[in-house]
Amino acid sequence: MSPALRYALTFAVMLAATAGIAALSDWPLYRHHPADMAQVKLSFSHGSDRKAGCRPATAEELAKLPPNMRRPVVCPRDRPSVRIEADLDGRPLLRAEIRAGGIAGDGPARLYRKFSVPAGPHVLDLRLSDTGRAEGFDYTGRMEVALAPAQNFVVDFRPAEGGFVAR
Amino acid sequence: MIGPRSVLRRAFDAVDRGLDRTLGPSLNPMDRLGALGFFFYWIVAVSGIYLFIPFDTGVHGAYASVERITHAQWYAGGVMRSLHRYASDAMVAAMLLHMAREWAHDRYRGVRWFSWLTGVPVLWLLYVSGITGYWLVWDKLAQYVAIASSELLDWLGVFGEPVARNFLAPDALSDRFFTLLVFMHIAVPLFLLFAMWIHLQRISRPKVNPPRALAAATLAAMLAVSLWRPALSQGPADLTTVPSEVGLDWFYLLLYPLIDLWSHGWIWGLLAAFTVMLLAMPWLPPFRRARAAEVTLAQCNGCGRCVDDCPYNAVTLVPRRDGRPFSHEAQVDPGLCAACGICMGACPTSTPFRRSSALATGIDLPERSLTWLRERVLAVTGGTKSGSGVLAFACSHAADTGALVSAGAGVVQLPCVAMMPPSLIDFVLSRELAAGVLVVGCAESGCHHRLGVAWMRERIAGARDPYLRARVPRERLATVWAGPSDAGRVIAAHDELKARLAGLAVAAPARRAVS
């Protein structure tokens, strides 16, 4: 076989290999989310109220402290868990109690959850407790949304803006 | 029993032999996978530098700048972008094939553990390099990959804030975070290059550059495909929507559909288990570690031929210690020695002609010594002058020689065909222990001990020391380089040699009658 023919065949082999590689670089298509569905994403990073765990110091506790450190209220370092509930169209979507982050449990509680929901009008009810209370909630919100197919509807929690906010 | 390794080995061998026949061994890309991997790396590096110059590293300008590069300058920037992607993908393909081929040919354990082990970080660094690159285009695929990757990383719980929160909404993603991704896409490939360099440290004469003709053909093919099917974006990222359908790069993103199907814990478990398995493979049974070569100082003059020929950098020259009038002596590092015997074949003192019963050579294998080799030859041939058949010296990693034995040939199996000193061929033919010698080595593009076939060819051709002496009748010698799927070629070479020898036997009495 002549060298020219061998070079031509080498080019042909590498061309076929590269064409195969190029084809697989973006084909076949992958559908990871149904076309008629939307997505609701609930996410927040929120430090719950540390004051909720505060209690009056006992006389024994105060007696053990130097006079200049005798504070009448003892506040633990760790934060209470954040309790959240979400209903979509009256049906439970999420019930979760999220522990405060950090080794000592003194960081913010973090949530990142996503839900695939049918496109169309929905009512989203949200409730959150960040004070460690056993009953009731500190924040509530209701959102009425019409979700388009493939829409990504994000709900965050920002106490400074009044609680639950759509982003 | 035929296991998956045997099947894969035969499959690779069949492809190799087909490419050897079509392109020739020197242009066979399957034999140059490592070198091609380096070549693809350089294509990616050069095209990446070109693309980085006009690239906008801010999240709001990234997509538009990539589109400008791709379309406004399709003949340069567009081609560079395609080269960048396709060479990256080709690097993954070359790496996975290289890994599978080395496993199939059992070239990953023993002294080769280092190359295998250091190849594992190369694997993951390449994946991280490629995946971070897909984020930067900031199209719908980038959005999908970025969010899926972040969610996977967040499962580890090592980041204070969930990384995925950076992709919650358009206003959540900052230029600063995006610039960090750009930095990662530059830094990780540099670590990759460093890991590739370490990967080569324990082998001599590593092939880091493909032959020019193969490199030119590869680059030309990539340019042609880049012009014919340029790499394109998949529409701008939009965090208010879910990119429902994406064109995945199946070389880098093969696992991403699993991320959607399995929990993140299972994905990490799978990756960890796969990595541990890869790292442990060189030490899994069965263990087949032969004893390392040993130097006999009384016979070693420090000529360095064994050092030149060792494929594993296991032999070095060190200052002489025994007071003899030579400047150096050979020293074997047992941790690096594969006991292939190539050093013994290269030693000028390895001659079977000596009369002593225990042959002494400068460097020898304890379990397959030169003495053993001569005795094996004598045992197979009967040790008499009446040898009229063919004696085959066969590499134990080459084609099966069972058919040769059936055909009446004597066979001496060697760990590597280059373990045979050329003087052994002279010994067999000059003592008329056999009428002809057949050398059966691995296929040229699949030498188990990397350089054995090349060295043996050069020794026979008189191009490498120690040479096969000129007095050896070449018409009584045949060579065949054959992989596991090439047993037919071995028997064909044997039959051809037998026919030639028969012709010589007829011609010799005729010549005697004339004289």
Query: Tens digits of per-residue pLDDT, B187-236?
Result: 999 999 999 999 999 999 999 999 999 999 999 999 999 999 999 999 99
**Percentage of chain B lying above the pLDDT 70 cut:** 97
User: Which residues of B are less than 8 Å from A38 in CB distance?
Assistant: 242
Q: Which of A1, A5, A26 to mutate to test the interface with B (most CBs of B within 10 A)?
A: A26
Confidence (pLDDT) at B512 = 47
The closest CB to that of A33, out of B85, B161, B244, belongs to: B244
Region B277-286: mean pLDDT is 93
Confidence (pLDDT) at A1 = 80
Asked if B248's CB is within 8 angstroms of A14's CB, the reply is no
A32 and chain B in contact, CB less than 8 A: yes
Confidence (pLDDT) at A76 = 87
In eight-state DSSP terms, residue B68 is I
Asked if B242's CB is within 8 angstroms of A112's CB, the reply is no
- B92: closest CA among B117, B115, B124? B124
Asked if A18's CB is within 8 angstroms of B222's CB, the reply is yes
Q: Which of B225, B255, B260 to mutate to test the interface with A (most CBs of A within 10 A)?
A: B225
**Rounded-to-integer distance, Cα B430 and Cα A26, Å:** 64
User: Which residues of B are less than 8 Å from A23 in CB distance?
Assistant: 229
**Domains with residue ranges and CATH for chain B:** 29-281 (1.20.810.10), 294-514 (no CATH)
Instruction: Supply A127's token pair.
Output: 């409730």
**Percentage of chain B lying above the pLDDT 90 cut:** 87
Report the mean per-residue pLDDT for chain B: 94
Phi and psi of B440, rounded to 5°? -110, 105
A154 and chain B in contact, CB less than 8 A: yes
User: Which residues of A are less than 8 Å from B146 in CB distance?
Assistant: none
Torsion of CA B428, B505, B399, B439, to 10 degrees: 40
Asked if A11's CB is within 8 angstroms of B225's CB, the reply is no
Asked if A25's CB is within 8 angstroms of B231's CB, the reply is yes
Residues A78-106 pLDDT 10s: 999 999 999 999 999 999 999 999 888 99
A60 phi-psi bin (left φ>0, alpha ψ -120 to 50, beta other): alpha
Region A16-34: mean pLDDT is 97
User: Which residues of B are less than 8 Å from A14 in CB distance?
Assistant: 29, 214, 217-218, 220-222
User: Which residues of B are less than 8 Å from A25 in CB distance?
Assistant: 85-86, 89, 231, 249-251
Q: How far is B97 from chain A (nearest CA, A)?
A: 13
Report the Cα A101 to chain-centroid distance in Å: 13
In eight-state DSSP terms, residue B76 is I
Asked if A24's CB is within 8 angstroms of B249's CB, the reply is yes
User: Which residues of A are less than 8 Å from B24 in CB distance?
Assistant: 1, 6
Asked if B251's CB is within 8 angstroms of A24's CB, the reply is yes
Work out the burial of residue B409: count CB atoms within 10 Å of its CB; fewer than 13 is exposed, 13-18 middle, 19 or more buried: buried
